[in-house]
Chains A and B, each alone.
Chain A
């Protein structure tokens, strides 16, 4: 085996990929070759480091130098200075990764990572996801070996039950119980499914796990197969995740070749294989019964439960279905024991949760924190706060199924139950931060617009009910809201929640109900005063010239594209509201700041 004196880790997650990490990798390759360094320095493409906001990210070991926003132009400098001469290019380092005396911090000391605890993401950004040996080097497949050779299926299920692990897809059902139900179900054939149909706008943790550590999911599914008595697994992943699909395919091939999938795994008589099923990107297919229908080749529509998949799942056989992040925790629980996992988290929510941090926050990216971490710690310490010193208004968890959390609950320790108590939900882990410039009515409208689009149309409460709610919200944001609209939304919302067929419909009203709960005054301002306090809803805005500040210079008249402004020279001008399209061009042009939106 070659000995390399230095490893250059380049993030190959989708975030860094789209900011150009593939090109950076190519330039590194040619630069290393032209400097004849290719035999002493190893290039590794890894999964997501988490700090997507400052990508492409490159880390050089053994120094642990953390380069951010690396462009192809920066590469020759890094190669000739750092890799050839050993002088770290300090001006390209991520600012928070350097001490005041220019010494390099270890990653654990960087503010973004300090409060994190990476369990599900432990290999992301560390190993090359396309090399099974690297996964094995970090104790990969050891849990599977231990399970097959040293434990009975019942013992495995008992460990998972004792660990307190709950489903990371959103609902938080105890994973061990699910395994037990499937193990006890009668059937000549059973299936293991992995739900990788991540659909929430802004959520990308499952994708990152698949891209950065695909073998962890394969290993966990194989352990699950042994525990419940299944010999076939399917990963249902959306076709919009090309990098994840590619790496999964590579991982499956490697595992088969190594005899970690297939017949007689670890010399036992246990057989297990995994296939990929591509989803076309319908949100409803993240719902378990719709996902199962889609795998069977049918239209992706949910059906009433019971029977639950544990008894009657894919092709009518007992089926175990878990989410990607749930699986990513399994090998470590088997490896380190239930007590170890129990020691992290809160009383009823054990372990960690990965959040995709987005919206109005400095460090957008992927974070993993122990359950019980507060929203304030995530947003202000890990996330680096809100840009431009704006005021925090609310955070949306759980995407279109969840709700908003206002400033008064910033210090609530996050777990499944505490979020449910304040009217939101854990959801799959999207966390969108909103500041004073976001209109809560508009946010609710945005999410409802999404669910109306994604409703499969099978049950009337969801198909018709959410549409009616959206119509009311559209009216409100256009200034045509009426007294009683809020009450109508609440009533509709409650009824849809109670009567919709599947999780999509049952949770669709949540964003509306929770914004009404915490920001009723904003709804009232839209309806009664025809005003949008955040200045977002176009129809409720007026662009006005303040007469006392206007000098009548006429500059605004020239830039107005609709000729809406008129007035005598040297006297205050006025805007004809029927012509104004609120483009704001006049506001930018006015030298006296006399034009305002309100």
Chain B
């Protein structure tokens, strides 16, 4: 160890990993519906795609978790995304391909991908 800067680098590298253990931070929450209906419709690949993208982009303060049945089983896989201070956005008929765009436009830049949302599907 030669400097405080070096120490800070190690800290930043590990921080994202341990941040998850702090009590409910104000970051963006990605929740994938993983009930039987969701899993049958292919929610696992969607979840994995989110994890992959978050990792590749080295996003901080983003949590990815699952929940049970969101309710509209015919539109599964469904994903809910909540950015701090904003309303929840529900995406439907998700696929691994769509994940990249949602991350880039919504999670990173705050632009909702309207055509994938539940509003557009109805």
Contacts and interface: CB of A to CB of B under 8 A. Distances in A.
Do A and B make up one complex?
yes
B66 A86 contact: yes
A227 B35 CA distance: 59
Contacts of A133: 10, 13-14
Contacts of B11: 136-137, 139, 142
Interface string B18-49: 10110110000000101100010000000110
A40 B48 contact: yes
A4 B17 contact: yes
Contact of B24 (A62, A136, A259): A62
Contacts of A5: 47, 50-51, 63-65
B90 to A, nearest CB: 16
Given A85-B39, A86-B34, A145-B7, A62 B14 contact: no
B71 interface: no
B58 to A, nearest CB: 8
Contact of B55 (A2, A9, A136, A145): A2
Q: Which of B11, B24, B47, B54 has the most CB of A within 10 A?
A: B11
Interface residues of A, number: 41
A3 B16 contact: yes
Contact of A134 (B7, B18, B67): B18
Contacts of A267: 1-3
A221 to B, nearest CB: 16
A107 interface: yes
Interface in A1-56: 1-7, 9, 39-40, 42
Interface in A49-79: 61-64
A6 B18 contact: no
B1 A3 contact: no
A243 B24 CA distance: 31
Contacts of B24: 62, 64, 106
A198 to B, nearest CB: 28
A582 B5 CA distance: 71
B65 A86 contact: yes
B16 A1 contact: yes
Interface in B49-76: 50-51, 54-55, 58, 63-68
B15 interface: yes
Nearest to A104: B24
B10 A136 contact: yes
A427 to B, nearest CB: 33
A260 B1 contact: yes
Nearest to B3: A267
A266 interface: yes
A1 to B, nearest CB: 6
Contacts of B120: none
Contacts of B23: 64, 106-108
User: How many B residues touch the partner, as a band?
Assistant: 20 to 34
Contacts of A63: 65
Nearest to A84: B34
Contacts of A6: 20, 65
Contacts of A61: 20-21
A151 B48 CA distance: 48
B21 A3 contact: no
B4 A146 contact: yes
Given A6-B65, A133-B14, A139-B11, A258 B1 contact: yes
Q: Which of B21, B47, B55, B68 has the most CB of A within 10 A?
A: B21
Given A63-B65, A86-B34, A145-B7, A259 B16 contact: no
Q: Which of B7, B34, B65 has the most CB of A within 10 A?
A: B7
Contacts of B4: 142, 145-146, 149, 266
Nearest to A132: B10
A40 B50 CA distance: 11
Given A85-B34, A134-B18, A142 B1 contact: no
A119 interface: no
Nearest to B5: A145
B51 A40 contact: yes
Interface string A123-163: 00011000001101111011001100100000000000000
B22 to A, nearest CB: 8
Given A260-B1, A267-B3, A7 B21 contact: yes
Contacts of A40: 47-48, 51
A246 interface: no
A136 B7 contact: yes
Nearest to A46: B21
A85 B66 contact: yes
B53 to A, nearest CB: 9
A4 B20 contact: yes
Interface in A415-474: none
B11 to A, nearest CB: 5
Nearest to B67: A86
Contacts of B21: 7, 9, 61, 126
A134 B3 contact: no
A395 interface: no
A87 B68 contact: yes
List the 6 shortest-distance A-B pairs measured between CB atoms, nearest first: A86-B66, A3-B55, A137-B14, A259-B1, A5-B64, A133-B14
7 contacts: A64-B24, A85-B66, A87-B68, A127-B18, A145-B7, A146-B4, A267-B1
Interface of A: 1-7, 9, 39-40, 42, 61-64, 84-87, 106-108, 126-127, 133-134, 136-139, 141-142, 145-146, 149, 258-260, 265-267
Given A1-B14, A85-B68, 5 more contacts: A85-B35, A85-B39, A259-B2, A266-B3, A266-B4
